[in-house]
Amino acid sequence: MTEKKRKEETAQKTTKASRNPESNDNVVFIGKKPVMNYVVACLTFFNSGAKKVTVKARGRVICRAVDTVELLRRAFLKDLQLQSINISTEEVTRGEGQKSNVSAIEITVTRP
């Protein structure tokens, strides 16, 4: 398969997933950026009319996800409620072929 066809198929899958209303809408993935960037992303979802936002993180940045939700609740949106907190372990294959377990968290917050 050529590189061009592979890119086209990936683009088609992405657009199909983004059109599906039940697919990962209003999800903020936590990474290495400062906490306030993720707080602003959540605020943007809520200001655009979303009633529910899910914050997802893996590994060392789980504490940043918790900080994001706590800042939202205590400083910006006082009426924000925790809907659910899900923790899990994901098996990741590293570059050398080794498998390792990585902790993951999903925090779903809702606004009445």
Q: What is the pTM of this model?
A: 0.75
Single out the residue of 52, 40, 58, 35 nearest to residue 106, CA to CA: 58
Percent above pLDDT 70 for the chain: 79
> What is the CATH T-level fold of the domain 24-110, as seen in this structure?
Translation Initiation Factor IF3 (3.30.110)
Backbone angles phi, psi at 100, to 5 degrees: -140, 155
Res 10 pLDDT > 60: no
Instruction: Name beta bridge partners: 109.
Output: 53, 82
What's the mean pLDDT in 1-22? 43
DSSP string, 32-97: SS-HHHHHHHHHHHHHTT-SEEEEEEEGGGHHHHHHHHHHIIIII-TT-EEEEEEEEEEEEE-TTS
Between 47 and 23, residue with greater pLDDT: 47
Res 37 pLDDT > 70: yes
What's the mean pLDDT in 2-27? 49
